[in-house]
């Protein structure tokens, strides 16, 4: 039996894209240069990687007390990050799908929610953290003054997986050091 499903598929294709208004000499890539294949990879990984396990496994969860699905979205679902439009769109889709699936399964006893991590110290962000200027720009915007670590997500996941959240359905909980509060 499956009581808890965590859909944690995620990743971005870093296209070295910069916003149009920040181009220095015209040599950087813009939105218009991002290959459609990169965006498709982001949607496949993030959206399909959440949808498919839910489709296959939630039928096994119906009727089980305390059954829940926790999807991993992103703070970019609330406001897109300028350099990764495909990722931001896909994660917004994960949050929207979370709401849809929550309303679809609520009466069957399965809760569906999501967490939205902010900037985390992971392999996916190593390049950003190593770029001193970008890292300082990011840290300046995080009220907590630091990058998150994976353990920062544990409390939110435990809450959403526990009976303490029995009446929470379709919510995306930001765990972002205050990024969205600014």
87 is catalytic: yes
Q: How far apart are CA 13 and CA 31, in angstroms?
A: 13
Q: Say which of 87, 104, 119, 167 is annotated catalytic.
A: 87
Q: What is the dihedral of CA 8, 14, 19, 20, to 10 degrees?
A: -140
What's 47's DSSP letter?
I
Active site positions, annotated: 87
């Amino acid at each position: 039996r499956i009581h808890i499903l965590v859909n944690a598929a995620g990743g971005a294709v870093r296209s070295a894209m910069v916003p149009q208004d920040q181009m220095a000499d015209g040599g950087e890539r813009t939105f218009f240069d991002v290959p459609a294949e990169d965006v498709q990879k982001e949607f496949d990984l993030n959206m399909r990687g959440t949808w498919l396990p839910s489709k296959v496994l939630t039928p096994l969860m119906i009727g089980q007390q305390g059954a829940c699905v926790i999807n991993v979205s992103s703070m970019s679902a609330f406001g897109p990050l300028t350099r990764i439009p495909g990722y931001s769109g896909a994660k917004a889709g994960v949050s929207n799908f979370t709401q849809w699936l929550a309303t679809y399964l609520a009466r069957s006893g399965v809760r569906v929610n999501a967490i939205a991590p902010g900037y985390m110290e992971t392999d996916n962000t190593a390049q950003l953290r190593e770029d001193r200027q970008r890292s300082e720009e990011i840290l300046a915007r995080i009220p907590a003054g630091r990058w998150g670590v994976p353990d920062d997500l544990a409390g939110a996941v435990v809450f959403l997986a526990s009976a303490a959240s029995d009446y929470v359905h379709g919510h995306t909980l930001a765990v972002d050091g205050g990024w969205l509060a600014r």
